[in-house]
Structure 1
Amino acid sequence: MTTAVTIPRHGGTGGRTAVAARARQVVKAYGSGEARVVALDSVDVDIARGQFTAIMGPSGSGKSTLMHCLAGLDTVTSGEIYLDETEITRLKDKKLTQLRRDRIGFIFQAFNLLPTLSALENITLPMDIAGRKADAEWLRRVVDTVGLSERLRHRPNQLSGGQQQRVAVARALAARPEIIFGDEPTGNLDSRAGAEVLGFLRTSVDELGQTIVMVTHDPVAASYADRVLYLADGRIVDEMERPTADAVLDRMKDFDARGRTS
């Protein structure tokens, strides 16, 4: 399935191609012979720049595998992955590590904050490691966007779970990556804190022009996205533009019903 790219509803394209990342005929398989398991089965997909894309599907559908391959965290068995115009599937380890550091942001369920550092130090840590100086104006804008201005000197144990995840979001945004990948980024948060973080992700797309790809199983979380991709058995089987929580839930029920009757 080849997914057409539409003009982004939010954010901007920065004057470049409207595609931030794309997969072409991507296969990811584990094992061999009778034990071979195909996690991704000839996937074609375009991720639009300046949009918030959610990836959904039942357990084992390949959604996390697709995100990890798009982000260069996992290798593909065959096919091609591009970040903008750079094919990342043929990059050597050193070049791939540099690309992930310089051009991609990550937000995971586990906040992955260093307990001995302040919120601000955690936010700037990846740039400090890379020997890059933070853009002061951009950093201030990011901190304001995620509502952390009054908490920058606090260490993680002095912050709530929602605030810690906001620090993780700010850390991903601060380096101005081309694209941010989130793997169930609100999975460890209660509904109120999760809604706060999702709101900040939505704002980062609308006001900062960010591109975000998020794996989630939660229809409410998916409703913050511009577009939802549905995976089943390693293939993209459907997509939804401008989703609502109810519409996502109904679509998921349809898939469950099909699965029971197939």
Structure 2
Amino acid sequence: MTTASAAVQTSDNPGGPSANAAAARQVTKAYGAGETRVTALNAVDVDIQRGRFTAIMGPSGSGKSTLMHCLAGLDTVTDGRIWIGDTEITGLKDKQLTKLRRDKIGFIFQSFNLLPTLNALENITLPMDIAGRKPDQGWLDQVVDTVGLADRLKHRPTQLSGGQQQRVAVARALAARPEIIFGDEPTGNLDSRSGAEVLTFLRRSVDELSQTIVMVTHDPVAASYADRVLFLADGVIVDEMHAPTADSVLERMRRFDGKRTS
């Protein structure tokens, strides 16, 4: 097994214009104090390259969701530094962080979080409408075409399947042209066919729209759509895999589980 320091290639100075959409340096996240202190992340270093699809995996309690939440500015860190693009987000005030998340970050969650009174197109443009920004029509058309929703834009969520609703959520995340999109088990509530559809559209958004995606998942099949898989254990990145297949990821997870139980 590679060590955390060897597994993840990092540069000494991730700030400023670079190939990284996000970066973390010596990031620690702990809860509680004294005997009740729990360390969810332990001095993690990682670079998230632009235009790449990264999956984060690990057993329950490994810190994978915590890492994503810290990278996305949804949670604060106990120690260390995090950048989104050329902006260091650690230390930003709440108002600054809210603006950065709105302007530079997209989110896709298990629950679709669509408003039932709005049609698909209105749900897609809602964040920009709230921010008082007009969508780039050319980009919006390209996004809608990429996720295959052109003939569903006037439909409300109740008129769409689960897979179609999640595609609306994907399009909403893409529409504002963020620097990076974070997905927290984005296919967790979908059947295998709908999940494959959504993962295919995420893959296409990377290949055809040069989007950057970071996805937390427990599913080796979902991870196989990524360019790179990061494996976490006990708050540390313990391994990574490039050009993963479902079988190779499953075998890696089995070896990991075997060592934990031996």
Once the two structures are superposed, the pairs formed by residues 241-260 of structure 1 within 5 Å of their partners are 241-260=242-261
In 2, distance between residues paired with 1:184 and 1:78? 26
Counterparts of 1:164 and 1:99, CA distance in 2? 26
Q: TM (normalized to structure 1)?
A: 0.95
Instruction: State the partner residue of 1:213.
Output: 214
- Which ranges in structure 1 are unaligned for 5 or more consecutive residues? 7-15
Secondary structure of the corresponding residue to residue 112 of structure 2: coil
User: What CA distance in whole angstroms lies between the structure 2 residues aligned with 1:212 and 1:106?
Assistant: 10
Deviations 1:25-73 (A, max 9, x none): 0000000010000000000000011000000000000000000000000
CA contact (8 A) 1:23 1:45 kept: yes
Paired with 2:153 and 2:71, the residues of 1 have a C-alpha distance of: 32
> 2:201 matched to 1:200?
yes
Paired residue for 2:106? 105
**Structure 2 segments unaligned to the other structure (5+ residues):** 12-16
Query: How big is the shift at 1:220?
Result: 0.1
Q: Deviations over 1:191-228 (max 9, x none)?
A: 00000000000000000000000000000000000000
Of 9, 18, 29, which aligns to 1:4? 9
Per-residue deviation, 1:4: 1.7
1:125 aligns with 2:130: no
> Aligned equivalents of 1:260 and 1:5: distance in 2?
31
- Report the CA distance between 1:248 and its aligned residue: 0.1
Q: Which amino acid aligns with 2:139?
A: W
Aligned pair count reads: 252
- The CA deviation string for residues 105-163 of structure 1, in whole angstroms up to 9 with x for no partner, is 00000000000000000000000000000000100000000000000000000000000
Are the equivalent residues in 2 in contact too, given 1:28–1:41 (CA < 8 A)?
yes
1:9 corresponds in structure 2 to none
Matches within 5 A, 1:1-262: 1-2=4-5, 3-4=8-9, 17-261=18-262
Contact 2:10 2:46 in 1 (8 A): no
Residues 61-101 of structure 1: per-residue CA shift (max 9 Å, x gap): 00000000000000000000011121101100000000000
CA contact (8 A) 1:124 1:174 kept: yes
Is the partner of 2:206 in helix, strand or coil? helix
Q: 1:5 deviation in Å?
A: 6.1
* Greater than 6 Å deviation, 4+ residue runs: none
- Structure 2: distance between partners of 1:91 and 1:58: 31
Going from structure 1 to structure 2, the CA distance change for 1:201 and 1:240 (only over 3 Å counts) comes to: same
Work out the percentage of aligned pairs sharing the same amino acid: 78
Q: Distance in 2 between matches of 1:108 and 1:60?
A: 19
